Amino acid sequence: MGRAMTGREPVLAHVTPDGKTVLVVNRRDGSLGIHDAPTLTLRGSVSVVPQPEDVAVLPDGSLAFVLSRSERRISVVDLRRGVLVTHLELAGKPTDMLLKPDGGELYVISPEAHGLQAINTWTHEVGDYMVLGSTPTRGVLSSDASLLYVSDTAGDRVTPVDIFNRRIIRDPGKGFPVPAGDSPTALRFDPAENLLLVVSQGSGDLAVIRVRTNFLLTMIPVGDHPQDLAVKLF
């Protein structure tokens, strides 16, 4: 156990894939603190987008992408040199970002832009854009990065996306749209990725959806205004 000095209003600590570095997102400072994991010593601090709230790191630990829900851009930080590389302009203010397991693409979800943007993490090119619904908010990506589910808070549904082919799944015999209670937000797969679990904030339920068919199986009451969920992996 140990303690470390951070910037003002730290909201998230993230360990890099190699376990050697702890990244601290400092909201009020608008900075990303880079700490040595064993000692928590601050190695450097990089100014990023105002009011940052989340960070994604490439598998090799070379770059970090920092998201702010109040800005239409994402900061790219070189972790080895401890410097800001660039800001990537987005179509709208983001609410979530998902990194492919191989680190090749970053998917950014924006309710303001009604869709999703794909960013090439090697070239920093903001590429394909997909319209997904009225207010796409959160997402979850399958382990093979072929399937993406996005919650639509105002639409009270979940949108299944074939991310390889950049298309919404409307195949015969599969449910679409996929109902998910009132104001669905956070979502996770079960360990086998047979079921999709969706927090329905407005109705206070957990929606259970079968992935193979995209049909709603049941709604489980969990209490008023649930915010997030975690799934046991074993």
Per residue in 170-210, pLDDT (tens digit) is 887 787 889 999 999 999 999 999 999 999 999 999 999 99
Q: Rounded distance, CA 202 to CA 209, Å?
A: 18
Indicate the pTM of the whole model.
0.93
Residue 3 confidence class, pLDDT cut points 50, 70, 90: confident
What is the per-residue pLDDT for 89? 97
The better pLDDT of the pair 135, 232 is held by: 135
Per residue in 41-61, pLDDT (tens digit) is 999 999 999 999 999 999 999
Q: Rounded distance, CA 201 to CA 204, Å?
A: 5
What is the per-residue pLDDT for 1? 61
Task: Output phi, psi for 91, to 5 deg.
Answer: -75, -25
Cα–Cα nearest to 211, from 125, 156, 165, 146: 146
What single-letter amino acid sits at 70? S
Per residue in 80-127, pLDDT (tens digit) is 999 999 999 999 999 999 999 999 999 999 999 999 999 999 999 998
Per residue in 217-227, pLDDT (tens digit) is 999 999 999 99
- Output b/e per residue, 102-140; b: 16+ Cβ within 10 A: ebebbbbbbbebbbbbbbebeebebeebbebbebbbbbb
What are the chain's domains? 1-104 (2.120.10.30), 135-234 (2.120.10.30)
